[in-house]
Structure 1
Amino acid sequence: METQELHRGRLIDHVHLVVADLDASRRFYTALFDVLDIPIGGSGESYFWVDELFVSTADSDAAAGRLTGRHHLAFQARDEAMVQAFHRAGLAAGGTDNGAPGLRPYHPGYYAAFLLDPDGNNIEAVYHGPATRSAASVHISF
């Protein structure tokens, strides 16, 4: 996967999370994205990025000196096994369980798992089932 590829026409261009402990967040997100087969795009002393997700410290040039607060990010998985692996990897990398892998009532076939990252963001992996699978995207709830 090209890590600096420009994707025009997407609803979301990028998401920026400002975190309290960059090392803890880097461990957590690296573990998750290894399972989701998405490479780390790059990093520096005060930031790292993965696809359209940018994570930094409050001291980074990109931040306004404040943490971003709690968000919900949902990443699409290829299948139920990937959702399960996402959950296991996130727990092992310092995440907190916020909903074990399983079917959810949002629509038939919605299989998801939820974790809280080191800053309390609700991070989800979802597989929509073979009949309703759509293009890969990031879902954000505020």
Structure 2
Amino acid sequence: MNNHECLLITDALAMNSKMPMKQIHSCIVCTPNYFFIVPTKTVGVFVIFDTIKNHSFFEGQTIPQGLKTLINNTEKLSDLENQMKEILNQDAKYIFDLSEATSKKIKGFLGKKTLQIREGKSWVSFSPKSKAEGKALAEFYPNF
């Protein structure tokens, strides 16, 4: 698969309106048509205590390693998108079709980038933790 067809962000923090009280430590797989939030750890923020859930998707590999292997071994973009949907069990909290977004933008602050999309009243955003991955995100989606 070509590098311009897919971007893997290995360390990001995501939030969305479907789970507004949770911060999702994640890897993000970006394609021209979708982005997929692959949670590595979900932290729920409650008044009295935090709840933390660690996630696992690839047996014997970390999530970033498993995603890199998947991307490197997939030839067609549509196959990658379908495999990502299967891995995430078609869960709308983690799969975002960019053609359905009513608003798409990337904001920057002190070198950090945040991508935010809206679909009607719902929203999702994520921020790569590294400035380099933020720059790569802005280059991958230049029209946002």
TM normalised by structure 1 equals 0.28
Q: Which structure is higher in helix share?
A: 2
Q: Which structure is higher in strand share?
A: 2
TM normalised by structure 2 equals 0.28
